[in-house]
C-alpha cells in the first residue's frame, strides 16, 4: 500500500471540513449535465467550490477506496489561487490544504 494513502485521506477530510466551515458546501448537487463536463475543473458548468465538492472529493475517495493508482501530479493549487484571488483571507486555509494535497500527490524526489 502506498504510504501516502492515509495522509491523502486525512487531507480530503480536512478539505471537506474547510468547505463546510466557509459555507461553500452545497446541499444541492449540480445537474447531471454540469457533472458530466469534460472541461478541466468543470469551469464551463460549475464554480470551483462545487467542483471540489462534487467531482474532486468523490473521485479521490473512489481512487483511495478502490486501490486505484494515484494521480501522478496535481495542480489544484494553481486553480485555487486564480479562483480565490478576490477572497485571499477567507480562502487561506483551503489554499493551504490544497497546496499540501499537491505536495502529497507529487512523486517523491
Its CATH class, for the domain covering 5-26+41-105, is mainly alpha
Q: What pTM does this model have?
A: 0.92
Under a CB-based contact definition with an 8 Å cutoff, are residues 63 and 4 in contact? no
Tens of pLDDT, residue by residue over 31-74, are 999 999 999 999 999 999 999 999 999 999 999 999 999 998 88
User: Could you read off the pLDDT of 69-109 as tens digits, one per residue?
Assistant: 999 888 899 999 999 999 999 999 999 999 999 999 987 64
Amino acid at each position: 500500500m502506498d504510504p501516502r494513502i492515509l495522509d491523502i485521506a486525512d487531507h480530503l477530510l480536512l478539505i471537506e471540513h474547510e468547505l463546510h466551515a466557509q459555507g461553500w458546501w452545497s446541499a444541492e448537487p449540480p445537474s447531471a449535465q454540469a457533472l458530466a463536463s469534460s472541461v478541466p475543473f468543470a469551469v464551463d458548468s460549475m464554480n470551483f467550490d462545487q467542483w471540489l465538492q462534487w467531482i474532486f472529493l468523490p473521485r479521490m475517495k473512489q481512487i483511495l477506496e478502490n486501490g486505484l493508482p494515484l494521480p501522478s501530479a496535481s495542480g489544484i493549487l494553481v486553480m485555487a489561487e486564480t479562483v480565490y484571488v478576490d477572497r485571499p483571507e477567507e480562502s487561506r486555509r483551503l489554499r493551504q490544504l490544497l497546496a499540501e494535497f499537491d505536495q502529497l500527490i507529487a512523486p517523491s524526489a
